[in-house]
Amino acid sequence: MRPDIRKRRGRGVIIVEMALYMLALLVMLVGLFEVSRLLFVWNAVQDVTRRAARAAAMTDFSDPAAMTALRSSALFTAGRMPLAPFLDVNTLRIEYLSQAPGGGPAALTAMPACPMRNAVNCARDPNGGDCIRFVRASFCSNANGECVPVPYEPMLPLLPVNAVVPPSATVVRAESLGRRPGMANCP
């Protein structure tokens, strides 16, 4: 066989081997990016729920525009979390809770109409079911009133990632809830 034919065949084998190695390297690189993104999302939801709970403790819960702005600003961008478009204002859940006789959070029996009504209710009975004492923020899908974890969506649907976003619930004490001095009482 002539030497130039062997040389061309050798080059062809090298190109095929290089293509296979590059494919394997590309798959590992994309997998590394996806795992990094997953860890970013798991870490960022903690910060977002802290920001949302803190802001909700000082925002008027009876004003829908203020609550929408609160959710949007807690997610860092306009309504969606960066690198995680499946986490948006609809998956950020904010709950108002009363205080159980033991001192921990408990579900409200009746939601006050406004922050001033809440102040009146709390002055009357600090442990009453209509007195907001805590605020909880978490990430979940609302399914029949239950908090179901949000499934993680990979950037490339070809990569099977069977994970959920942790709810990352943050509970803080209610503060002003948007009440200002001289604010009129609601009905």
What is the tens place of the pLDDT at every residue in 75-125?
877 767 778 888 888 888 899 999 888 888 888 888 888 888 888 888 888
146-150, long-range: CB within 8 Å, 24+ apart, which pairs? 147/93, 150/86, 150/87, 150/91
3-state secondary structure of 175: coil
Predicted confidence (pLDDT) at residue 156 exceeds the cutoff of 70: yes
Three-state DSSP at 164 gives strand
Please, which pLDDT band fits residue 181 given cuts at 50, 70 and 90?
A: confident
pTM: 0.80
Is the predicted pLDDT of residue 10 greater than 70, yes or no?
no
pLDDT of 2 reads 61
Are 159 and 30 in contact, with CB atoms under 8 Å apart? Answer: yes
Per-residue model confidence (pLDDT) at position 1? 52
Mean pLDDT of 53-74: 90
Lowest mean pLDDT among 18-22, 42-46, 87-91, 141-145: 141-145
Q: Please enumerate in sequence order all residues whose Cβ is within 8 A of that of 27, keeping only pairs 6 or more positions apart, or say none.
A: none
Whether residue 30 contacts residue 156, with contact meaning beta carbons closer than 8 Å, is answered with: yes
- Could you tell me which of 10, 3, 12, 45 has the C-alpha nearest to residue 149? 45
CA angle, 136 then 141 then 143, to 5°:
110
| pLDDT in the model for residue 25 | 94
* Mean of all residue pLDDT scores within the chain: 84
In this predicted structure, the answer to whether residue 55 has a pLDDT above a threshold of 60 is yes
Integer CA distances (angstroms), 25 to 13, 22, 72, 76, 156, in order? 18, 5, 38, 33, 16
Over 60: is that where the pLDDT of 164 sits? yes
